[in-house]
Amino acid sequence: MPSPPSHPYYPLDANIVGYEPNQTPVLELLVSAGGACTILLSVTFVLASYVKPTLRMADRIAILWFVLSGTLHCFFEGYFMVHHNHMASAQDLFGQLWKEYALADSRYMTSDTLVLCMETMTVVLWGPLCFVVAYLTAIRHSLRHPIQVIVCMSHLYGDTLYYATSLFDEYVHGQPYSRPEPYYFWLYYFFMNFIWIVVPAYYLYRSISTISAALKQAEKDKTK
């Protein structure tokens, strides 16, 4: 009889050294993460409203989005970048959250080259630029939209590559990274990442429309 797998991740023969089950229940982990995000967004909204009370609601919501994205990129994904080779035994909040998410994508437990390089770029480049966009939005700077285009395109490209490589390995090479339960694939893998396609696509559209309108107005002013 073959010995039972030493971890719950797929593929079952993935080399995950030192795995220890999470000590905190899943619901408690999700509530802790949700609570932290709620506090972050609440403080950001209050500060933005206090510092710039004339900001439009749409701009305040944009600031919330880019601050949340920047925080997740720099700190949560930054945790993975630093601890990727020994997360299997982690019992702190970020470590347990990553182990829970990795049930939908075990590449985060095996220091997969593509995932590690992609996350490193996200931490070093796109996370800080999210904070830059939030700041430029708050002060109504003209550079907001050009930089917002760059950040949104990086999210769309990164998410597309992330989906494509995982699904290619599963359907072409027969190597799944997600557990077979639909919950992990559709909620963790698909939905949580799809948010970073839908929202950046919206802000990309808004920036392109704003830049296009500004250029058209500039051309009209030249012909006067």
Helix, strand, or coil here: 209?
Answer: helix
C-alpha 183/C-alpha 163 separation (Å) is: 17
Per-residue pLDDT of the chain (224 residues; tens, 9 = 90+): 555 668 999 999 999 989 999 999 999 999 999 999 999 999 999 999 998 899 999 999 999 999 999 999 999 999 999 999 999 999 999 999 999 999 999 999 999 999 999 999 999 999 999 999 999 999 999 999 999 999 999 999 999 999 999 999 999 999 999 999 999 999 999 999 999 999 999 999 999 999 999 999 888 888 76
Q: What is the pLDDT of residue 4?
A: 62
Torsion of CA 194, 195, 196, 197, to 10 degrees: 60
Q: What is the pLDDT of residue 5?
A: 66
C-alpha 54/C-alpha 126 separation (Å) is: 28
- Please provide the average confidence, as pLDDT, over all residues in the chain: 94
User: Which tokens belong to 136?
Assistant: 């430029």
Q: What is the pLDDT of residue 3?
A: 57
136 φ, ψ (degrees, to nearest 5): -65, -35
Q: What is the pLDDT of residue 218?
A: 85
Left (φ > 0), alpha (ψ -120 to 50) or beta: where does 111 sit? left
Helix, strand, or coil here: 129?
Answer: helix
